[in-house]
Chains A and B, each alone.
Chain A
Amino acid sequence: MGAQSSVVILQSPGLAARRWAFVVGQLLLVLAVCLLSVSVLAQQKIVVLKGGKLLTVSHGVIENGVLVMFSGKITALGTPGSIAIPKGAQVIDVTGMTVYPGLIDSESYLGLTEISAEQSTNDLIEISDEIMPHMHVYDAFHAESELIPVARLNGVTNAIVAPHSQDTLPGQDSLVQLDGKSANDMLLVRDIALPLNFTGEQRRNESWEKRKFPQTRMGLAAQLRQAFVDAQDYADRWADYEKKRADATAKPDDKKGPPSPLKHDLKLEALLPYLQGKKPIVLAAQEPSDLETAVGLARNFNLKFVLNHISHSRPVLDYVASLKVPVIVGPIYEDPRNYERYDAVYSLPGELYKRGVKIAFASYDAHAVRNLPYAAGYATAFGLPHDEALKAITLNPAEIWGVADKLGSLDVGKTANVVVADGDPLDVRSDVKRVFIDGREVPMTSRQTELRDRYSGH
């Protein structure tokens, strides 16, 4: 499509180049717009946000800025003098408002639950076995969940959706966008990562009478090692099989003939991209002892990993920093252990940042996804710089999840996931006024606003 190519040109780096590219881009835009049919034009208008304070995240703050969106992308942004407003564009005056990239939740359960206590509405976890890497969140993701509009009304536009954590390997996460016609539209990356949970809560220790394997951390670790060893063997068997098959094809007269067919094992197959380091494991631990066991296990198998939680690992933060991996932090409101100071978890993000660790916040919730920015805000009261807190719910997660070319900052060429609020995005007092996802302005309504309006006579 013509419009797409103009956007590509607009991606060139450097301000002068960008400005020049914009002029060319504008010409191309006009051309493209002329070529488009009327119906497409109606859907894909140029939208300009004018007069707001742009928190780009990647390159500072632009006061009284202009941001142009077209065809689902940010096509230009800058100071008023540097950006020409395209003719025919829908110009929205956002003077006095803050404009920032859509927020990214690094672990949520959106689309897997509706009413927590109602089991029929939950698709959160398979507890029949601890090793379930062949469970895919996208198979259950409920695009029409009433929880999704509630989350995006507060500026959360993207989320990692993960299974609950009662299994060591509960299944694979998806990255979703919180608007779209269907699940197909909303699932940006279907299998993006595999959680490996080692917090002690995965033990099957209901009662002594009902005990079954794995009842201890030893059992869980042994089971995990066996799973990865099995997957390695499986990969080797298949490689051998493919080789023999290729040989047989190359030498059709060989008496041996083709090898006997192998059976597929979905569970082991699901582990292969992780064993090969193609995708990250999300390694969850809380206490230093569990953390070190889990990291040891990941290293045994050369797994690529990011850390998750580590809320009660204060004594080993230097060790954590030495691992040179990002950490998903939180929930920061979680109570500290009784032996810890009241702010042991609150101050963890700041302490990690000080040690050079890249952090991202997560809601670890479905109904409370909208409160993601407040967790980041609270961390600023305990030593995390404000800019870094915002980064930890935008650009950092985009980088951690490998989608920083599309999400996480206000930059030309990125997906137009843009939020407009009347104040600091991290403050509970700020009201989100507009949300754009893929350049489309989403209606500021949810089941909750409908109830509000019905009972307040709006």
Chain B
Amino acid sequence: MRRVTTLFSFTILGLMSLQVSAQQTAAPPSHNEVLIKNAVVMTVTRGNVQNGSVYIKNGKVAAVGKEVNAPSTATVIDAGGKYLTPGIIDSHSHIALDDDVNEATSPITPQMMMIDAFDYQDKAIYRGLAGGVTTSLLLHGSANMIGGQAVVIKHKYGASRDAMLFPGAPQSIKFASGENPKRVYGGKEQLPSTRMGNFAVQRAALVEAQDYMREWDDYNAKVKRGDKDAKAPKHDLKLEALADVLRGKLLVQIHCYRADELLTEMAMAKEFGYKVRAFHHALEAYKVADELAAQGVAIATFSDWWGYKQEAWDAIPWNAVLSMRKGVRVAIKSDSGDFARRLNQEAGKTMRYGGATEEEALKMITINPAWIIGVDDRVGSIEVGKDADLVIWDGYPLSSFGVPDKVLIDGDVYFDRALPGFGMPHYREGE
């Protein structure tokens, strides 16, 4: 009897809140046509549209503006004058990896694939979603100088594992420097235990990869010449992965705090001919922002977290804006399940510390992290042709008071605060 009542009230609530959610209780999610109207549309790249609308077709943004041509069959979501932003993008996350963040048994482990540990049922994905996060870069930890290869996910909690992977996202690899590797291996009386050791280990690995590439080049040249006796070198997944770094096939994401190490990492990249996509944490970026800007290296940093270790002692909350003013592309990232749930508030702090404009602050959690991940052509702004990953906010998003009302991914509502239970149309606990 009790169960009947529950089901009944559930249905009624679903009907009252949204047609969309009522239709979507059945999996798999369908890419219906959706019209979001009566919103302050914060496009990020093309300004705000007051009393604007977004028309979504097949999971993509089909039109944005004051008036859009949507068919009468489209499901209408009235935003009630609230703010609409692109989904938040977290360019530094370790959620949904169980405890398998660090293969801390060797300082060079580029053949580790984070997707092998991806726990798509981790509730942290849901909690990030409820905070407006739609895309995350799940990185290896910082125990190793060269860690492993990241996985990019969309926060479609309740969907299958493969449906959560960001299709076609480029492959990133995580490097790290500073205190963590030297502590992990120094603690075991192994190399590295100093910053000298750190960089020596990194350089040695890259030289080994160069030798490996030469061996293969040599072999391939012999085959091409028709040398039937040519003997193929042994395949080595570790060196293959490093070779991909040298070939520029991987986006290099480097955990790095101190200004001197930022410079050393850039010099190392130059020496070996690869590009650094972004420095993560980069709490002293403000000291060498000109150099970072000249190299086109982005940073993914905290708004104001500091003092948790020696290399975070010179962190200042003005880092993001000081670096941005020098021309550095800046993202605010979480590095933790709980920061991920309020990245909007963290970005809002940059408006106070250094006076970022609304658009600059918003970029730090949307299009800039999208660039760091290499998916800025797909997400990170509200533009025609981009994925319809959108958040309707209750309250001004870049404040202490902004929280998501609804979150859409690929045009489907994945989170709706008005729904009972977990607030997810596609997920029911225990069913």
Q: A: which residues have CB within 8 A of B?
A: 114-118, 147, 333-336, 338-339, 341-343, 366-368, 370-371, 373-374, 377-378, 380-382, 424, 426-431, 448-449, 451-452, 455-456
Contacts and interface: CB of A to CB of B under 8 A. Distances in A.
Contact of A427 (B123, B124, B400, B422): B400
B401 interface: yes
Contacts of B398: 428-429
Report which residue of B307, B341, B401 has the largest number of chain A beta carbons within 10 angstroms of its beta carbon: B307
A342 B341 contact: yes
A173 B417 CA distance: 39
A98 to B, nearest CB: 14
B423 A342 contact: yes
Contact of A341 (B304, B306, B318, B423): B423
B273 interface: no
Contacts of A335: 124, 127, 337-338, 341
Interface of B: 123-124, 126-127, 130-131, 179, 286-287, 304-310, 312-318, 322, 337-338, 341-342, 345, 348-349, 351-352, 394-395, 398-403, 421-423, 429
A100 B309 CA distance: 34
Contacts of B286: 452, 455-456
Contacts of A427: 348, 399-401
A28 B355 CA distance: 46
Contact of A428 (B318, B338, B345, B429): B345
A448 to B, nearest CB: 4
A380 B394 CA distance: 12
Contacts of B342: 333, 378
A117 B338 contact: no
A378 B422 contact: no
A114 B309 CA distance: 9
Nearest to B318: A452
A367 B345 contact: no
A116 B307 contact: yes
B352 A429 contact: yes
Given A378-B345, A426-B400, A428-B399, A116 B308 contact: yes
Nearest 3 Cβ contacts at the A-B interface? A377-B400, A117-B309, A342-B130
B415 to A, nearest CB: 8
Nearest to A366: B307
A343 B130 contact: yes
A382 B342 CA distance: 13
Contacts of B318: 448, 452, 456
B310 A117 contact: yes
Contacts of A382: 403
A428 B352 contact: yes
Nearest to B122: A338
24 contacts: A115-B307, A115-B313, A117-B308, A118-B309, A334-B338, A335-B127, A335-B338, A336-B127, A367-B308, A368-B304, A368-B305, A374-B345, A378-B345, A381-B394, A426-B401, A428-B348, A428-B349, A428-B400, A429-B349, A429-B351, A451-B314, A451-B316, A455-B286, A455-B287
A152 to B, nearest CB: 15
A159 to B, nearest CB: 16
Contacts of A334: 338
A362 to B, nearest CB: 16
Contacts of A118: 309-310
A84 to B, nearest CB: 36
Given A116-B308, A381-B394, A428-B398, 15 more contacts: A114-B307, A147-B307, A335-B341, A341-B421, A367-B306, A381-B401, A426-B400, A427-B399, A428-B348, A428-B349, A428-B351, A448-B317, A448-B318, A456-B286, A456-B318
A452 B322 contact: yes
B401 A380 contact: yes
A379 to B, nearest CB: 9
A335 B421 CA distance: 16
Nearest to A375: B400
A456 B403 CA distance: 33
B255 to A, nearest CB: 15
Report which residue of B130, B342, B398, B400 has the largest number of chain A beta carbons within 10 angstroms of its beta carbon: B400
A341 B395 CA distance: 20
Nearest to B356: A429
Given A378-B342, A380-B401, A428-B399, A115 B423 contact: no
Contacts of B403: 378, 381-382
Contact of B348 (A336, A338, A373, A429): A429
Contacts of A343: 130
Given A334-B338, A455-B322, A431 B307 contact: no
A147 B307 CA distance: 9
Contacts of B351: 428-429
A295 B126 CA distance: 34
B240 to A, nearest CB: 35
Nearest to B183: A117
A428 B402 CA distance: 11
A336 B130 CA distance: 12
A428 B303 CA distance: 11
A374 B130 contact: no
A367 B348 contact: no
Contacts of A377: 399-401
B402 A381 contact: yes
Given A368-B305, A427-B399, A455-B286, A115 B124 contact: no
Contacts of B402: 381
A115 B309 contact: yes
B316 A452 contact: yes
Contacts of B421: 341
B308 A115 contact: yes
Nearest to A342: B130
Nearest to B129: A342
Nearest to B306: A367
Contacts of B307: 114-116, 147, 366-367
A449 B316 CA distance: 8
Contacts of A455: 286-287, 322
Nearest to A339: B429
A431 B318 CA distance: 13
Contact of B310 (A115, A378, A381, A426): A115
Contacts of A115: 307-310, 312-313
Contacts of B309: 115-118
Contact of A374 (B131, B400, B422): B400
Contacts of B305: 367-368
A342 B422 contact: yes
A371 B345 CA distance: 11
Contacts of A452: 286, 316, 318, 322
A338 B127 CA distance: 10
Contacts of B316: 448-449, 451-452
B352 A430 contact: yes
A378 B308 CA distance: 24
A445 to B, nearest CB: 12
Report which residue of A334, A430, A448 has the largest number of chain B beta carbons within 10 angstroms of its beta carbon: A448
A333 B338 contact: yes
B126 A342 contact: yes
Contact of A429 (B179, B313, B399, B429): B399
Nearest to B402: A381
A33 B352 CA distance: 40
A374 B342 CA distance: 11
Contacts of A338: 123
A426 B396 CA distance: 13
Nearest to B179: A117
A265 B264 CA distance: 58
Contacts of B423: 341-342
Contacts of B124: 335
Report which residue of A116, A117, A334, A382 has the largest number of chain B beta carbons within 10 angstroms of its beta carbon: A117
Contacts of A367: 305-308
A380 B401 CA distance: 7
Given A335-B338, A426-B400, A456-B318, A371 B304 contact: yes
